[in-house]
Amino acid sequence: MKLRVLGCAGAEFPNFRPSAFLIDDSLMLDGGTIGSVLSEEEQWAIKYIFVTHAHLDHIRDIPLLADNIVIKKLCNNVKIAGIKEVLEAISSHLLNNVIWPDFSKIPTTESPIITYWQIEPEKEIQIDGYSITAIRVDHSVPAVGYLVRRNGKSILYTGDTGPTDRIWEWADDLSALIVEVSFPNEMEEMALLTRHLTSSLLAEELKKIKKLPPHILVTHPKPQYYAKIAAELRELGIAQIELLKDGAVYDF
């Protein structure tokens, strides 16, 4: 699987973009960054966006992608996949004909740009050669992470989470783990309040995994603390940990 990091920051600043990961050109994990990175042709190739939760930095560019498609007069359909609470939030509060047009009915209800695909936690689904499972995590709103498998390779993406348990039971024999660290250690109280992780909290979470994967890719740092978080991650002494940067590409 090819993993392209479109955005991996916990806020937006110059050179720091919101969360979005593109797998093999057509499947996305979260949609915080799309149009500012992908060309027209690359946007048209997107078929699925699996959303971890409904916070704006993870869904922001979905409406703009839909608008780009309809303006181009393409017949593309993008499936927005997520748990019930996430899809309800997007349809009620974002694509609701107030904040943005309801692209689940445009250009027609029979052939819309956007189709909602409700998935159930821990029920594996099969699409285009991928096996995908949503697993609940502990965030400030209903949220899941995703385990994506294909051709013997597997990527586990936590999305946003604080200390949690269930998802680590699905972390065996991973090719890569994408896990968040939003705050430096000195802000642990804020991290726990908002249900995020620090480097020290991540170290405790990794103890819950029987065998650490060869790649532990850290996402969602607050840009103001990027250097401090990077230093604290190095201090953990875990060789396979890497703090992600926008634009990185991996092949697993």
pLDDT computed for residue 182 by the predictor: 98
- pLDDT over 80 (residue 12): yes
Residue pair 58/159 in contact by the 8 Å Cβ criterion: yes
Residues 6+ apart with CB under 8 A from 38: 6, 22, 46
Q: Inform me whether the pLDDT recorded for 196 exceeds 80.
A: yes
For 95-148, what is each residue's pLDDT tens digit?
A: 999 999 999 999 999 999 999 999 999 999 999 999 999 999 999 999 999 999
Q: Angle CA(82)–CA(86)–CA(138) in degrees, nearest 5? A: 95
Does 235 have pLDDT greater than 80? yes
Per-residue model confidence as pLDDT tens digits over 43-62: 999 999 999 999 999 999 99
- Looking at the DSSP bridge assignments, the partners of residue 147 are 133, 156
Q: Which long-range contacts (CB under 8 A, 24 or more apart) does 225-228 make?
A: 225/183, 225/184, 225/187, 226/16, 228/184
Residue 43 near residue 34, CB atoms below 8 Å: yes
- Encode pLDDT of 20-31 as tens digits: 999 999 999 999
Question: What is the average per-residue pLDDT within 7-35?
Answer: 97
Distance of CA 57 to the CA centre of its chain: 10
List domains and CATH numbers for the chain: 2-244 (3.60.15.10)
In percent, the amount of the chain with pLDDT more than 90 equals 97
Q: What is the mean pLDDT of residues 207-225?
A: 97
* Torsion sign (Cα): 184, 188, 193, 197: positive
Q: What is this structure's pTM?
A: 0.97
